[in-house]
Structure 1
Amino acid sequence: MRNSERRRRAVAVAALLAAGVASAMPAGLPWTTLPTADRERLTARASRLATLAPDERAALAARAAQWHALPAEVRARRRAAFDAVEAMPHAERARLQEAAVRFAALPPETRKVLRDRFDSLDSAVQRGWLLGPTLGADWPGLHPLFAAMPEAQHAPAMLALRAASPQARADLAVLAQRTPPQDRDALRTAWLEAPAATRDAWLRARVDP
């Protein structure tokens, strides 16, 4: 099952559990098709919800209503940002938290300048920053190689990029620029298929024969 479909089903079931109507779940809802780990997590969440005081449940329901009142594109952006942060290594998340604290301490006019500067970036570069401060800084050069990546390559590519040295990411960006668009899929696939222990050297040899 694709992650997006699994997440959609999990959210649907979680909403029912939060509303306290799991026992009245229509037969068509896909509870039994969810992975065991998802069912266990949702059941545990329902148990925690059952211990909430009425005012706590009301506050939770109000937050859920506020969420569903947001435009679909806003919810999609926030889900993407949440998923991206969840996928980051702990050190990257810590750097983001520190940056958020520094940003919040800036004068309002400075924050506005920074927001406007970010909003002026190309959308592909903006999405690159969702990968964290390290890959986000390198993404303008790497983006051409990963813009049309098959879903099956996404997770392996992100793992390989996070494991790559700064020099290797720079080399990959150089190769991405040198390689014609029609040949970039083959370059990315060959890079992923190179043994992890020698992948950086594989790149270096192609940039500087």
Structure 2
Amino acid sequence: MLNVGILISGAGSNMLRLLEDMEQPHPGRASLVVSNTPDAAGLAKAEAMGIATQVVDHKLYRGDRSAFEAALQKILLVHEIDVICLAGFMRILGADFVSAWQGRMLNIHPSLLPKYQGLKTYQRALDAGDAETGCSVHEVVSELDAGPILGQSRVAVLPDDTASSLAARVLVQEHQLYPRVLRDFLVQFPSQA
């Protein structure tokens, strides 16, 4: 069984869905949740489910991304993590860290990639007059939100949508898509074949 580590920065709603899914028969085991913010609400949720948690406070490493990533890497190795899921982890990871986890790190992004990489995706979709938007799960590569797409869910943009209303409907799809894609990814993972 593969050890899954989940990186968060906030409430951890996608983390929670992944953890709940891994309570069922699953090719992965939720082994660790790490946050870059000590007060992330998702930490308490993970602890309540009996999952080990750690904090690597990015503020302690201001101006030294490599030291932050080295501390993060050390924790992941101690917990023998096989696959990382970024779930609302609001830090851009450097090329060396990403390279070390190439093919073993997933992210969920609130747009139909390759459209709207980065932030403010809902407002960008509204401003462009898009008829639909959605979410994507992709492998993480050194270029932001540019890795191979493993799954997408589409959401219609309604005439009276705001960025907030659109975000709420996309989040429902994220909660369904990410667990499904993680399962498929782990089943096909080389050590499972």
- Shorter-chain TM-score bucket reads under 0.3
Higher-Rg member (1/2): 1
Structure with the larger strand share: 2
Structure with the larger helix share: 1
